[in-house]
Structure 1
Amino acid sequence: MTTKPITVTVHADDPLSRAGVTSCLRGRPDIEVVERSVRAVGHRSVAVVLTDRVDAPGAAALRRLVRGESRQVVLVVDGLRERELLTAVACGVHTFVWRHQATGERLEQAVRSAARGDSEVPPDLLNRLLVQLGRHGSGSPAVTSVTSLADREVEVLRFVAEGLENRQIAGKLAYSERTVKNILHGLMTRMQLRNRAHAVAFALREGYL
């Protein structure tokens, strides 16, 4: 069976930046870069968004991509203020790349991770995110007061906190990648958590990590 390519759209106000990212991704195996006017939906559809700020219009655009067009988003930014970081996460962005680190290889890795439904956050940005989620909760729904995690959930979260991907965690724990994904999905559904970073922040607050 032939695997469908990951469909990628590139969004940037600066034509040169858009052309640069398009050039980096075009020709990569199993990645198809298409024009913005093409509506491509599905779990293997990724939008790469380059922006300087996540202001109100930018947040609305992110929500439209994530919810209205059912796309995973890779956000490429120069820097983020605390409020902008939390706004991006609330919009459903789980994959971040610093612009100065946005090489072709790094962008390809981020696109593939987003297409799988995984999260990728630079370590320094993840630390800031965990602090902010722990301090403010990011306006998230209240987590159930019954906070009991299974041993294997704690093990998986410990490796998530170290920045490992699902396949790496699977190798560490001798699980299948699907098992790791199911463990995380079950935990986040039960505890009303939005993403991997939120799950780690929850585990830190409850004393599991």
Structure 2
Amino acid sequence: MDQVRVAAWASDPIALTGLINHLKTRPELLVVPRARRAEAAVLVFAVGQVDREVINALRGASAESPAAIVLVAGHVDPGHLSPLAECHVSVVLPRTALDRLTASVLAAARGRTAPLRDQVEALAHEGAGAALTPREVDVLRLMAEGWDTAEIAGKLCYSERTVKNVIYAMTNRLNLRNRPHAVAYAVRAGVI
């Protein structure tokens, strides 16, 4: 079986390292370095949310290479469909779906993908059920910085009981085991 050449790009170096390490574990894929990105059949972009900077990076990559692009994102505004299509984006995956990444890369390399509009709508529906409230995001950001319950309460002007209730409701609703699991979930979802 021929390996599909793939290159990776991410909005931050930690995400890029994780993405490259994940792709390297797959025998069907051959990860090429950034300097040889033009040789890749598929480019994988991992971002929290599609914004102007991401669109510019996608345009630069598509000008450099005619490769299909798999976009792994926390959020994609349906208004970005046209620029994404112009940039050769053929697959859009939620950041929580790394289990589908290899199949998506292979499908993109073969040109067998669903319409981009359908994928963006599916991403919106998938994220809607597990959306975090602004209050939950505020608490998660402080938890990620290492603050304890009392410190979070003081910083956000909540009672400690309110902070505990926010954490309990969120972990219960999303089936998260503990606080570190909640922070990891928020990082993967691209909200912190």
Q: TM tier, shorter chain?
A: 0.5 to 0.7
Q: State yes or no: 1:109 paired with 2:103.
A: yes
Q: 2:81 aligns with which of 68, 71, 85?
A: 85
Percent identity over paired residues: 28
Q: Which residue of 2 aligns with 1:55?
A: 51
Q: Which residue of 2 aligns with 1:125?
A: 120
Moved more, 89-98 or 60-69: 60-69
Q: Which residue of 1 aligns with 2:152?
A: none
Gapped runs of 5+ residues in structure 2?
125-192
Rounded to whole Å, the distance in 1 between the matches of 2:30 and 2:111 is 18
Rounded to whole Å, the distance in 2 between the matches of 1:59 and 1:30 is 28
CA deviation profile, 1:25-75 (whole Å, cap 9, x unmatched): 213123111221223436xx1110011233333223212323431211000
Q: Which residue of 2 aligns with 1:69?
A: 65
Rounded to whole Å, the distance in 1 between the matches of 2:117 and 2:104 is 11
Question: What one-letter code is carried by the residue in structure 2 that aligns with 1:113?
Answer: A
Retained in 1: the 8 A contact 2:90–2:113? Answer: yes
Structure 1 residues 33 and 123: CA distance shift in structure 2, 3 A: same
Structure 1 residues 25 and 70: CA distance shift in structure 2, 3 A: same
Rounded to whole Å, the distance in 2 between the matches of 1:87 and 1:51 is 16
Aligned length: 123
Question: What one-letter code is carried by the residue in structure 2 that aligns with 1:98?
Answer: P
Q: Note the 1:39-50 alignment, pairs <5 A.
A: 39-41=37-39, 45-50=41-46
Secondary structure, counterpart of 1:114 in structure 2: helix
Retained in 2: the 8 A contact 1:41–1:70? Answer: no
Retained in 2: the 8 A contact 1:75–1:96? Answer: yes
Question: What one-letter code is carried by the residue in structure 2 that aligns with 1:117?
Answer: G
Q: Is the radius of gyration larger for structure 1 or structure 2?
A: 2
Rounded to whole Å, the distance in 2 between the matches of 1:63 and 1:124 is 20
Using the TM superposition, give the Cα deviation of residue 23 of structure 1 relative to its aligned residue in structure 2, in angstroms: 1.9
Moved over 3 A (4+): 120-124, 126-129
CA deviation profile, 1:179-208 (whole Å, cap 9, x unmatched): xxxxxxxxxxxxxxxxxxxxxxxxxxxxxx
Structure (1/2) with the larger helix percentage: 2
Using the TM superposition, give the Cα deviation of residue 82 of structure 1 relative to its aligned residue in structure 2, in angstroms: 2.1
Rounded to whole Å, the distance in 1 between the matches of 2:27 and 2:123 is 34
Q: Which residue of 1 aligns with 2:183?
A: none
Q: What's the RMSD between the two structures over aligned residues?
A: 2.7
Give the TM-score normalised by the residue count of structure 1.
0.51
Gapped runs of 5+ residues in structure 1?
130-209
Using the TM superposition, give the Cα deviation of residue 79 of structure 1 relative to its aligned residue in structure 2, in angstroms: 0.9
Secondary structure, counterpart of 2:7 in structure 1: strand
Retained in 2: the 8 A contact 1:52–1:78? Answer: yes
Structure 1 residues 118 and 64: CA distance shift in structure 2, 3 A: farther
Retained in 2: the 8 A contact 1:46–1:72? Answer: yes
